[in-house]
């Protein structure tokens, strides 16, 4: 039974070390009295696996928006992970549910279309966007955006920072600067559910250099089973807070560990 589980997890792109530790935990429970007493051992093993997966994925994290506004949420991640769209979706989600007045900040000055993309999304959702074009350094844009937010009475500031195709020191240095200036309540790593084994390295480096407080998993509606989520959660120890489940503006939802666990096992 565990061999099948191992294959399911590896096929779902869960990191090998994480799988090994996970199976050791399951074996410990399955070899004990729990299975012996149950009517059908195979069903009991699946149940244990499911429970352990849910435990490993952890409780869904809540956003920490305590203290005086404006609350800053900083989105980080590699290029192409869906940061810009996620920022707009999250702003919309928070505005609907908590009466916040969000401001989106275009701090990605490297990808030519990023600023335009955020402005278009802002117009569609009727959420204001602060941008200074691509000539001003991103830390400066974020500093001015915060002042603007205070003046205009925005309670929430979402920073769309630049992603790169790979992680480099300049990028990390810039993110550290932005973090120092804006003191964000949340630093969320936006990661593509399709990221395979590389997910662990990416999450680990962002966590070490910038210090993340949560994960947002995007493109969960695709073919990916979402094994990357387990690897990242396991390596960083930070909770998964949201999942993006489609292209639409409202296609973001709080993370449910039981749903993703069923998906990873290919049972849902």
H or E segment to which residue 8 belongs:
helix 2-11
Global pTM reads 0.87
Alpha helical stretches, state H, 153-241: 169-182, 198-209, 227-236
User: What is the pairing mode between strands 129-130 and 214-218?
Assistant: unpaired
- DSSP conformational letter for 144: H
* pLDDT, one tens digit for every residue, the chain (268 residues): 788 888 888 887 788 888 999 999 998 888 876 666 766 777 778 888 888 888 888 888 889 888 888 999 999 998 888 899 999 999 999 998 888 899 999 999 988 789 999 999 999 999 999 999 888 999 999 999 999 999 999 999 999 999 877 778 888 999 999 999 999 999 999 988 777 677 788 888 899 999 999 999 887 765 556 777 888 888 888 999 998 877 776 788 888 888 888 877 765 4
Which of 142, 109, 104, 140 lies closest to 124, judged by CA? Answer: 104
């Amino acid at each position: 039974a565990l061999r099948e589980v191992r294959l399911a997890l590896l096929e779902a792109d869960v990191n090998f070390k994480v799988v090994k530790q996970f199976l050791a935990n399951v074996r410990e429970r399955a070899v004990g009295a729990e299975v012996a007493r149950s009517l059908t051992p195979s069903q009991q093993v699946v149940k244990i696996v499911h429970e352990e997966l849910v435990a490993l994925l952890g409780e869904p994290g809540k956003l920490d928006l305590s203290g005086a506004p404006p609350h800053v949420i900083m989105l980080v991640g590699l290029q192409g992970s869906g940061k810009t769209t996620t920022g707009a979706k999250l702003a919309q989600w928070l505005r609907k549910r908590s009466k916040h007045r969000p401001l989106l900040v275009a701090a990605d000055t490297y990808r030519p279309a990023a600023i335009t993309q955020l402005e278009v999304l802002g117009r569609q959702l009727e959420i204001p966007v602060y941008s200074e074009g691509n000539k001003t350094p991103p830390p400066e844009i974020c500093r001015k955006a915060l002042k603007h937010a205070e003046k205009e009475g925005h309670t929430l500031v979402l920073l769309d920072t630049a992603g790169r195709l790979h992680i480099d020191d300049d990028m990390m240095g810039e993110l550290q600067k932005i973090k120092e200036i804006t003191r964000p309540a949340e630093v969320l790593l936006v990661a593509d559910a399709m990221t395979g084994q590389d997910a662990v390295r990416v999450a680990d480096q962002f966590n070490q250099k910038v210090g993340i407080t949560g994960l947002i998993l995007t493109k969960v509606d695709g073919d990916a089973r979402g094994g990357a989520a387990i690897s990242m959660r396991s390596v960083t120890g930070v909770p998964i807070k949201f999942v993006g489940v489609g292209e639409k503006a409202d296609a973001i939802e709080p993370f449910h560990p039981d749903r993703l666990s069923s998906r990873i096992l290919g049972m849902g």
